[in-house]
A = this chain, B = another copy of it.
């Protein structure tokens, strides 16, 4: 017997059905990425293959821009979804609405190494700090409404490049899923006078069954209404709606739990492909009492059933309690 579970934030029902067959994603990294990565545009020595860097971290103070010697490098995407030049030109077309694709699309090259075997918490910290630095700068552009931090890892997660990288997509609209979470959070707050994410943190710590990891300031859980097998969220214990407002010492805890969670996912699922996303508040709605930033990690293991695309009704063949147990017990 399958079970329907309701996401407490946006009200989406998902089907949890452990009796179901699992259609594995067929594509593998070796099908997609070349073995010889000397042509990788993100590797040191190939700096001229990318557009000029926006930001770089280096231990050599004399390093010149766009030359090797960096530990992390931020560049504009060569194929940006949104361009920084131009004006929005919001306009009607009969009953329809449109605007130009103004925004920014940057790539954070997370490390000089093409293949990283083991990651330290410090690696994560560098990436998060670079993302925060870029978000703070992009906040000055009043045309922008939202900045999305995301990572695609592996061919099954549709990562175009193999070299470890994150992306920042700054958009002139608030993406639909974020708006749904904010509206859901607002409704919950109106009714309960509490943040729904804060309540989730409390319940998950006391339930323990879906808990993957916990430290002083963060928990990692497989959410109650997980859409995907081994879906995992990292949620801060302290309330805050804006990722880029998190104090530096809290980022150290966030980096530590990130390292723990990705190490566990790598061990249990044998280095899966995954998509990562930081859900944070809109640029022009700061310090919301009813929204709570968090990170969502979706391993790409199972192919979706056809109707998931069109209905938003997800079928998940792995109960989150089962996934969390595996992850909790692994290193």
A interface residue numbers (CB < 8 A to B): 1-6, 8, 10-13, 15, 17, 20-21, 23, 26-27, 31-32, 79, 81-83, 86, 93-101, 148, 150-152, 157-160, 167, 169, 171-173, 175-178, 180, 199-200, 203, 207, 224-225, 275, 277, 279, 296, 298, 303-307, 309-313, 315
Contact B310 A3 (CB under 8 A): no
Contact A96 B6 (CB under 8 A): yes
A-B CB contact pairs (8 Å), 6 listed: A3-B101, A13-B176, A21-B79, A23-B160, A171-B313, A275-B307
Contact A100 B277 (CB under 8 A): no
| CB of A198 to closest CB in B, whole Å | 11
Given contacts A100-B1, A310-B150, contact A303 B176 (CB under 8 A): no
| CB of A122 to closest CB in B, whole Å | 25
Contact A306 B8 (CB under 8 A): no
In the complex, chain B residues whose CB is within 8 Å of the CB of A79: 20-21
Given contacts A1-B86, A173-B4, A311-B175, contact A159 B306 (CB under 8 A): yes
Number of copies: 2
In the complex, chain B residues whose CB is within 8 Å of the CB of A169: 307
Instruction: State in angstroms the CA–CA spacing of A157 and B307 once bound together.
Output: 10
Which of B32, B82, B199, B309 touches A298 (beta carbons < 8 Å)? B309
Contact B13 A173 (CB under 8 A): yes
Which of B15, B101, B167, B306 touches A152 (beta carbons < 8 Å)? B306
Contact A26 B27 (CB under 8 A): yes
Given contacts A5-B98, A176-B311, contact A150 B306 (CB under 8 A): yes
